[in-house]
Amino acid sequence: MPEIQKNLDVFKSVIIKENEIGLLMENGQFKKILQPGKYTFWSLRAERKVHILDTFSTELAEFWAVILLKKRPAEAAKLFEVVETGADQIALLYQDNKPVMLLKPWQKKYFWKMRHTIDVEYISIQTGKVLSEEYRTVMEQIRPESMVVSQTIGASHIGLMYIDDQFDRVLYPGVYSFWKNEGKISFERYDCLNRASNGLLEKQAKELLAHAPDEADKLLEVVTTKESQVAVVSWDEKPFLVLKPWQTKYYFKKLSNVHVDYITIATGQEVPKEYRAVLEKLDTGQLVQSLTIAHFHTGLMFVDGKLVRELKPGAYSFWQNEGQVAFQIIDLRPQQLEVTAQEILTKDKISLRVTLSAFMTVRDACKTVESSVDHNEHLYRLVQFAVREAVGNRSLDEVLGSREKVDSQIVNHVREHMGDIGISLEGLGIKDIILPGEMRDMLNKVVMAEKTAQANLIRRREETAATRSLLNTAKLMDGSPTLMRLKELETLEKLTEKVGRIDLHAGDKGGLDALLSGLLKSEKSE
């Protein structure tokens, strides 16, 4: 509280105002109370001091209050009010009928009552005890620190209150205020209309079931699955969650319709059609295994490594609980297998690189999978061995000259050693034979020489035939002057084809008529 201290010399005057009182101290000892007025003191033999206290303020310092209560108890009772609280008790102080202060447990304070009307209301409290509406209004005016905890629960929410981390009660929509003494008060709120935040944790749910079973039965939908059982949880008729076996979830059902469908499952069992579309939209983790098999394919399903079913084209979904479900999809269309760049020595020690093409079709997928780890690799190795045997036992000329026989031997070898593994070999043959560079050049020269010799032979045959034809023509012309004349005219015709213009000169014998007459006479004489 504000305090004024004045030292007095030999003679000193002190004025105490209307809203003050003075405490006279002589040599450090309290002597008397000074009411408002003017005072003069003689302080030659003793040291005197006056402490002036403001009585218009609310609170009195404890030091002066203790001195007054000890030295002047009767006067002290008139000057100020002593307020003291015990355990689990608070004091609500009213000044002139207005709440101004709240004292916590184990507190002691002193309040002036000379200028104000002081009233004190003692209240027994306990942490978590609800404030009445009357006290809530008072607390909102004085706002005591850490003595009152307030919480508002919205219209679509449910609240859980904890004291020292122990469940205390359920809070329905509304405004709450609680006394807080020594314990810790905490709250958890859940939106009953929000699916994401609706789920209650197991610890809180068990506490609610244990301490408030009747309320828990009204508020909670407990979803528990057993072995080989799942639950599809629907929220207002809309599925939103799938529970796996041995799971428990808690949901508030007060403001929403929570529906649960329990389904008995087994690993490898097909999901019912009515749940397939629902489960595709939900997060099932590894609980459901789905696949789609296209046309011209077949699917094989394995449970814990064992082949249990062949699947035709279509969409499928299967439960996967404790076992492991796996699928293998096989293409049933004809497939091409390339066996490339096989390095092989012929019988005459010539290195070749051979490439082959094989065409196969899977006829029985189950038998194919049971008979070989990888049917493509299996066929690849058989073709390798077959081509090495067929080419290695022949010379280069035999390989190049009898391709059909080589292909036939390779096909027979593969079919004989492949056995019945569910695969049909549609075709197999050599695609390319690649010779070394030097050998390829030599072979090209041989082929060129052969073709040159064949060309020369054909040319000579044609020349001989032409000569024989000329001889026969000459013999005919020698015995027939007319044929000779026709040949001359034919030759003349060929010559005139290359001439643009022909000029005939008759000379002095009478012109063109005389020339034509001469030609006709010449023909008649012949």
**For residues 268 and 317, what is the distance between their CA atoms, to the nearest angstrom?**
9
CA distance 352 to 435: 5
List CB contacts of 74: < 8 A, sequence separation 6 or more: none
pLDDT in tens, the chain (526 residues): 444 444 445 567 888 888 888 888 888 888 888 888 888 876 656 677 888 888 888 888 888 888 888 888 888 888 888 899 888 888 888 888 888 888 888 889 998 888 788 888 888 887 777 777 777 777 777 766 677 888 888 888 888 888 888 888 888 888 888 878 777 888 888 888 776 655 667 778 888 888 888 888 888 888 899 988 999 988 888 888 888 898 888 888 877 788 899 999 888 888 988 888 888 888 888 889 899 999 999 999 999 989 999 999 999 999 988 889 999 999 999 999 888 878 888 888 888 888 889 999 999 999 888 888 888 888 889 888 888 888 888 888 888 888 888 888 888 888 888 888 888 888 888 888 877 766 666 666 766 777 788 888 888 888 888 888 877 777 777 777 777 777 777 777 777 777 666 665 655 555 556 655 665 555 555 5
**Site of tokens 């207002």:** 236
CA proximity to 344, closest of 386, 381, 311: 386
Beta partners for 319? 288
Question: From the CB of residue 331, how many other CB atoms can be counted at a distance below 10 Å?
Answer: 13
Helices 403-418 and 375-392 cross at an angle (nearest 10°) of: 140
Distances in Å between the Cα of 345 and the Cα atoms of 226, 348, 399, 402 are 69, 8, 11, 17
Question: Please, what is the end-to-end C-alpha distance for the chain in angstroms?
Answer: 175
Q: What is the 3-state secondary structure (H, E, C) of 320-359?
A: CCCCCEEEEEEECCCEEEEEEEEEEECCCCCEEEEEEEEE
